[in-house]
Structure 1
Amino acid sequence: MGSGEPNPAGKKKKYLKAALYVGDLDPDVTEDMLYKKFRPAGPLRFTRICRDPVTRSPLGYGYVNFRFPADAEWALNTMNFDLINGKPFRLMWSQPDDRLRKSGVGNIFIKNLDKSIDNRALFYLFSAFGNILSCKVVCDDNGSKGYAYVHFDSLAAANRAIWHMNGVRLNNRQVYVGRFKFPEERAAEVRTKDRATFTNVFVKNFGDDMDDEKLKEIFSGYGPTESVKVIRDASGKSKGFGFVRYETHEAAQKAVLDLHGKSINGKVLYVGRAQKKIERLAELRRRFERLRLKEKSRPPGVPIYIKNLDETIDDEKLKEEFSSFGSISRAKVMVEVGQGKGFGVVCFSSFEDATKAVDEMNGRTVGSKPLHVTLGQARRSLFQLFKTVTVQTSNVPRRRKLRTLLCDCKPSY
């Protein structure tokens, strides 16, 4: 593929549609510029620049839809990495069904790349092993970050690339080429390896008055330490957690077994193996998935929970009390042996109606008791967890990555 050369892997797969994805576009590129660029390759149905739904600013990619698949294939073979507005763009087949991408089949990971290797060089280096669906050198504002992904249309092509390229020196740097692994898989490997060798211990819940010396005094009894650090905020106040690095795994393991759950100055310590970033992200992903599954199992609507209900309140009375705030899909008083347990749930059709009911009814006396009304905990936890990740992650590329990772789990209020 590229410059009209025959595909070395043999026949291409036949794609039913004639649409190409165009990536790495300059922000000033318009649909008209795309049309003029690709019209010489054959008749076009349309071109589209994808934009942010709120700000309408371009997202750096778009689509070119040809009338005939042969024209799209010719453009892919001959125009990949051409320039628009002085910036090379990246072409690949548009695939409405993303199951192949999500499956990871045919996807490989390359690291320790020289900064001089860009998308074009990567494409031509690996196209000898099969038909490439997409390839991407990961970059930041300073250029290549030294790693990349190549997605082939078959597992056999990916295996050929790994066999021939792993350990090869490219521009005097020995590259690693291996099978792409999803974050959960990499986290599991790290977890398995580190459990047998860890020396770094994470400690939390020790209060504000802890300093490095006091923490070292507590933990040094289990073996020699390399470093002890209490994490502090901008004002120098302890954040309530820190790290202890031991010289040996045995000392670290002994400290975890002996000190976890121990009470110090009225505080119950959490002591465990310090997790690496990939493990923390995987745990965050699992938490979102658990909340998402819990959310799906709930009745449709936005639930609010009501405690301290009078014994005379039944389902109908509960629905009547809250119906003035909006459409209700369900109202249920929890009962045991025919008698109300003092709490219930009301499901509204919209988030706005639910929050209005919480604001108006919390503390109001119904029957003989004042109500305690709160928003459904699962939805609130999911929303707050997403907000926490977004706000606390100040690094913009990392925040975008987390948003992409977690967007399917965010409540759709």
Structure 2
Amino acid sequence: MNYSTDSGSTVYVGNIDPRITKEQLYELFIQINPILRIKYPKDKVLQTYQGYAFIEFHSKEDAQYVIQIMNNTVKLYDRLIKVRQVTNSVGAANSSSNNSNGISLPIAKLFVKNLADSIDIEQLGKIFNKFGKTINKPEIFHLSTGKLKCAYVYFEDFEKADMAIKSLNNQLVANNRITVDYAFKENGKGNTKYGDEVDRLLNKEALKHGMLK
């Protein structure tokens, strides 16, 4: 199944009991708004549902209404389902903030701290591109009244981002010992970082369906 490029009309539904069928999900959500398509993954070996789904509606407004009605209000087999918006990841990379009520269709956003003054955007890109494909150019900025040079780097794939963190964190780069970790989410509650279970599930689905191209 191919998703619409307008991912704002797609919602993520989580915490689904595996006994719930695709037909039951359809019957539940069609009561709120017309459905364009549903992606409800199964484990390839066990052939059991994996506890989450993506449901695409005909408009962003339809998706938003479903979120308002269904998120944290409906129990299926004693599980309270979570319904959140999926937003476009590339747009999120270029934006100063994300929708606090939604989930970015996630790229892996890294925070790099204590860069040497000699490191520019092109050099930083070459360093991180060794581990996998990055999206857009890194963003360099300064903290602590301009003295501490930092950057954001955006990976397409969380597994490649994990490799970059493991290899580069606390290493010397141009005679500066840098730190590399996942960035805090914009408007995130409780100082949450990129890279949680939901981020990774969404990322795998996005890569599978070519939504990050």
TM range (shorter): 0.3 to 0.5
Instruction: Tell me which of the two structures has the higher relative contact order, counting C-alpha pairs closer than 8 angstroms and 6 or more residues apart.
Output: 2
Higher helix share: 1
Please report the TM-score for the alignment, with normalisation by the length of structure 2: 0.47
